[in-house]
């Protein structure tokens, strides 16, 4: 029900002139009492308390109903029972927003009838609805908290540049609590709940437009309107705002949990991921990956370059290297100037990355050695971010001030990963109080660095959309498999090269067509709606004369009378690949490339990229599945027509983009690449 025009209107939600809390209570052991305290704790003043049970709460007047308030508030927070929600909503006419922090189901548990009631009221101009089943929201930048999150018990949430949106109240509460330990703040935090009306995309659009928000972190099990979300993500990408997304369901167990939690369907994860990344969204795997990398990006902008790491433990440097490798984070190759600095200042015999800063073994100089190593790395153009990874440290106070100075002056992101216990606790806390990003888990640091790389990668690809029109023949086709002859014509129209072939009606015509093509040939029997011909014995290979072709055709007819014709193809040999179009109904299409033929079962790499493709992306796909360069003459193999495969991939992309509303799936298997060309030998297309 949400519309794209809500972004500017949401300013009245996050920065309201007045707020009413319906169901407010003096009881601090209940959410109805805590929300009042949280709001006052955040610094908000213009608060109306509504509850007919009380005349005042903690010295503030309490009104019997919204209708009796001296003014119409911008926001009404409803903490009344489900049966009272409709009447409170109708009293709130004129308010801009209505927050339902509990359920709004009927007493018998039914929701559909209640939802129908509210849909009608919304259409008549009622307040926009957040929730139900929401924990509310916080806007530290506007000194307001209309949230029942228990994470606020310790105090008001700090102001910062991260906007946080979550469908899970538990996750948003955990992030508030975790980030507070690091001194990290937020611009706005929203628990979307069941999204009866306002949804993730509404809050995203607002935060993109909000100058106080630099990075947007999102937890979402699903998106109500994926295309609207993607359009907003493109705008964020254009204006330099990062989006980090935690979207559970990449495993079968995770998908089942998402379904049981909210009833949301997660869709095709692989296709969704590449499409989201193309739109500038970096997907993460853990709740800590939402806020810590977000804070680094908010402070420093997009982080480019590899990691330079330092430790005073030679044994730990190897652990650090492995942890970064496992997180797909690359260590920088040290420049010769950097190596000379480290040798000269510390008599380090052979500095490598990660650097063992205590290699010269002079007691009492450890802090100095760490300092010069980190400063040398900071000045190295190959290093994008520095990491100080440590275990225990004698007299940690000697290093803390140096780390604070490096973090504030180097101009590059710095992370301290002090993986120890109580002995280092005070040092870590002092670093955090002084704005040093300090963690106590090397794995968390490695994952955060991986997220920074993911976000940087989303900024590297930009493709112009294809201008190819939709195919009219496909528009008129019913759902299901496309007939072979029509599919061959469609592929040709989009310049997807087919192997030389002929469609015929009889066995005699098959023999004549084979002679015209030249031997050897492949014969295929055509059956309506058949996706896998070989499984039904409808494919014969290496036929070398007209008689053999006719005999094979007659044999197919005897065993399968439903055959309505034959396809005769020139048989060619070369490197075999699989090219496909995979589609997620909500998000769109992606192009798949994998090894085919004898390599298909054993291939452990598949390249998947969102449409549209350009030649650069197609080249990258080939590099991924052919890292040894088999197409390029690996170990004396003949050179194959790699650029023709690039052409074919781009043509398939144009086909997918132009017909996105109709194509459910396309499978070109195999595509054979020879020394001269790349040809689709067998094709299946299924329409929605």
What pLDDT was estimated at residue 93?
95
Beta bridge partners of 539: 524
Task: Assess contact for 192 and 10: CB atoms under 8 A.
Answer: no
Evaluate if residue 683 carries a pLDDT over 80: yes
pLDDT band at 202 (very low <50, low <70, confident <90, very high): very high
DSSP label at 331?
B
Contact 439, 445 (CB under 8 A): yes
| Mean pLDDT across 267-287 | 91
Are both 205 and 290 inside the same structural domain? yes
Q: How many domains does the chain have?
A: 4
Determine if the peptide bond prior to 410 is cis (ω within 30°).
no
State whether 108 and 204 are in the same domain. Answer: yes
Residues found in the chain: 688
Q: What is the reported pLDDT for 207? A: 97
Write out the residue range of the structural domain in which residue 638 sits: 575-687
Of the chain, the percentage scoring pLDDT greater than 90 comes to 77
Query: Is the model's pLDDT at 685 over the cut of 90?
Result: yes
**For position 660, which CATH number holds?**
3.30.470.20
The answer to whether residues 675 and 640 touch, using CB atoms and an 8 Å cutoff, is yes
pLDDT band of 305, cuts 50, 70, 90: confident
- Is 119 in contact with 130 (CB distance < 8 Å)? no
Residues 521-574 have pLDDT tens digits of 999 999 988 878 888 889 999 999 999 999 999 999 999 999 999 999 999 999
CB 145 within 8 A of CB 158: no
pLDDT band at 109 (very low <50, low <70, confident <90, very high): low
Give the global pTM: 0.90
516 and 646 belong to one structural domain: no
Mean pLDDT, the chain, integer: 90
Residues 163 and 82 placed together within one structural domain of the fold: yes
Backbone phi, psi, residue 2, to 5°: -70, 155
For position 260, what pLDDT does the model report? 34
Among 539, 570, 601, the domain boundary falls at 570
Say if 481 falls within a structural domain.
no
pLDDT tens for each residue of 397-426: 899 999 999 999 999 999 999 998 898 999
Do residues 189 and 291 both lie within one domain? yes
Residue 446 above 90 pLDDT? yes
Residue 257 pLDDT grade (very low, low, confident, very high; cuts 50, 70, 90): very low
3-state secondary structure of 355: strand
Same domain, 519 and 436: no
pLDDT at residue 259 greater than cutoff 50: no
DSSP sequence for 79-143: -S-GGGHHHHHHHTBTBSEEEE-S----TTS--HHHHHHHHHHHHTTPPEEE-SS--EEEEGGGT
Tell me what pLDDT residue 256 has: 43
Position 319 pLDDT exceeds 90: yes
Q: Among 544, 570, 596, where does a domain finish?
A: 570
- Residue 337, pLDDT > 60, answer yes
Q: Is the pLDDT of residue 465 over 70?
A: yes
48-51 CB contacts, 8 Å cutoff, 24+ apart: 48/18, 48/19, 48/20, 48/21, 48/73, 49/20, 49/21, 49/24, 50/20, 50/21, 50/22, 50/23, 50/24, 51/22, 51/23, 51/24, 51/25
- What's the pLDDT band for 366 if we cut at 50, 70, 90? confident
Average pLDDT over residues 651-668: 95
> Is residue 489 one of the residues assigned to a domain?
no
What pLDDT does residue 48 have? 98
Residues 320 and 409 in one domain: yes
What does the alpha-carbon distance between residue 262 and residue 248 come to, in Å, rounded to a whole number?
12
* Domain containing residue 316: CATH number: 3.40.50.261
Is the same domain home to 528 and 609?
Answer: no
- pLDDT of 395 over the 90 cut: no
> How large is the average pLDDT for residues 66-82?
96
**Measured distance CA(158)–CA(176) in Å, rounded:** 9
Q: How does residue 276 score in pLDDT terms, banded at 50, 70 and 90?
A: very high
**Pair (153, 242) in one structural domain:** yes
Task: Express each pLDDT in 130-151 by its tens digit.
Answer: 999 999 999 999 999 999 998 8
- Mean per-residue pLDDT, 278-282: 95
Structure tokens at 613: 């493709």
Under DSSP, is residue 620 helix (H, G, I), strand (E, B) or coil? helix
Backbone angles phi, psi at 15, to 5 degrees: -135, 65
Model confidence at 155, in pLDDT bands (50, 70, 90)? confident
Is the domain of 256 the same as that of 308?
A: no
In 303-419, which ranges are continuous DSSP H helix?
314-326, 336-346, 366-378, 397-409
- One domain for residues 175 and 132: yes
For residues 370 and 352, what is the distance between their CA atoms, to the nearest angstrom? Answer: 14
Measure the CA angle with vertex 38, ends 221 and 71; round to 5°: 100
Q: What is the predicted pLDDT for the residue at 600? A: 57
In the predicted model, what is the mean pLDDT of residues 176-200?
A: 95
């Amino acid at each position: 029900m949400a519309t794209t025009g809500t972004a500017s209107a949401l300013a009245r939600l996050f920065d309201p002139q007045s707020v009413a809390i319906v169901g407010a209570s003096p009881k601090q052991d209940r959410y109805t009492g805590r929300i009042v305290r949280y709001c006052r704790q955040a610094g908000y003043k213009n608060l109306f308390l509504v509850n007919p049970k009380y005349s005042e709460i903690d010295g503030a007047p309490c009104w019997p109903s919204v209708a009796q308030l001296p003014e119409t508030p911008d926001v009404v927070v409803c903490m009344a029972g489900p049966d009272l929600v409709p009447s409170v909503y109708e009293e709130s006419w004129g308010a801009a927003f209505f927050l339902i922090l509990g359920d709004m189901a009927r007493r018998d548990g039914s929701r559909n009838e209640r939802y129908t009631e509210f849909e009608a009221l919304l259409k008549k101009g009622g307040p926009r609805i957040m929730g139900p089943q929401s924990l509310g929201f916080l806007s530290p930048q506007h000194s307001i908290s209309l949230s029942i999150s228990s994470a606020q018990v310790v105090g008001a949430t700090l102001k910062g540049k991260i906007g946080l949106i979550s469908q899970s109240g538990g996750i948003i509460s955990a992030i508030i609590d975790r980030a507070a330990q690091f001194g990290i703040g937020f611009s706005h935090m929203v628990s979307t709940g069941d999204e009866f009306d306002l949804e993730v995309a509404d809050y995203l659009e607002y935060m993109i437009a909000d100058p106080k928000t630099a990075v947007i972190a999102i937890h979402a099990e699903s998106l109500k309107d994926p295309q609207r979300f993607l359009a907003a993500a493109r705008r964020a990408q254009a204006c330099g705002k990062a989006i980090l997304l935690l979207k559970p369901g990449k495993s079968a167990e995770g998908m089942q949990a998402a379904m049981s939690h909210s009833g949301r369907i997660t869709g095709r994860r692989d296709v969704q991921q590449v499409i989201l990344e193309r739109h500038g969204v970096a997907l993460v795997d853990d709740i800590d990956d939402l806020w810590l990398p977000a804070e680094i990006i908010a402070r420093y902008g997009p982080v480019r370059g590899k990691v330079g790491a330092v430790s005073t433990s030679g044994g730990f440097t190897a652990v650090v290297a492995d942890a970064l490798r496992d997180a797909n984070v690359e260590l920088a190759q040290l420049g010769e100037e950097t190596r000379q600095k480290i040798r000269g200042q510390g008599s380090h015999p052979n500095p490598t990355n990660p650097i063992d800063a205590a290699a010269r073994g002079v007691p009492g100089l450890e802090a100095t050695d760490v300092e010069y190593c980190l400063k040398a790395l900071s000045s190295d153009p190959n290093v994008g971010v520095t990491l100080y990874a440590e275990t225990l440290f004698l007299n940690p106070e000697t290093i803390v001030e140096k780390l604070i100075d490096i973090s504030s002056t180097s101009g590059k992101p710095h992370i301290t990963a002090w993986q120890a216990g109580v002995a280092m606790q005070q040092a870590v806390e002092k670093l955090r109080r002084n704005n040093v990003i300090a963690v106590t888990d090397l794995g968390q640091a490695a994952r955060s660095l991986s997220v920074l790389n993911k976000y940087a990668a989303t900024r590297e690809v930009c493709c112009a959309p294809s201008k190819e029109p939709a195919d009219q023949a496909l528009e008129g086709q019913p759902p299901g498999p496309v007939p072979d002859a029509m599919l061959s014509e469609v592929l040709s129209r989009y310049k997807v090269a087919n192997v030389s072939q002929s469609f015929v009606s009889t066995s005699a015509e098959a023999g004549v067509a084979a002679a015209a093509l030249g031997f050897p040939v492949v014969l295929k029997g055509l059956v309506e709606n058949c996706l896998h011909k070989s499984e039904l014995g409808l494919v014969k290979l290496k036929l070398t004369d007209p008689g053999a072709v006719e005999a094979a055709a007659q044999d197919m007819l005897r065993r399968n009378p439903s055959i309505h014709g034959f396809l005769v193809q020139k048989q060619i040999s070369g490197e075999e690949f699989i090219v496909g179009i995979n589609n997620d109904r909500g998000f769109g299409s992606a192009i798949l490339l994998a090894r085919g033929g004898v390599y298909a079962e054993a291939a452990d790499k598949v390249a998947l990229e969102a449409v549209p493709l350009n030649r650069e992306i197609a080249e990258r796909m080939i590099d991924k599945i052919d890292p040894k360069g088999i197409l390029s003459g690996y170990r004396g193999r003949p050179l194959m027509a790699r650029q023709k495969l690039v052409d074919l991939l781009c043509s398939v992309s144009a086909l997918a983009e132009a017909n996105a509303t109709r194509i459910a799936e396309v499978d070109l298997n195999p595509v054979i690449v020879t020394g001269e060309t790349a040809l689709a030998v067998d094709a299946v297309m299924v329409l929605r």
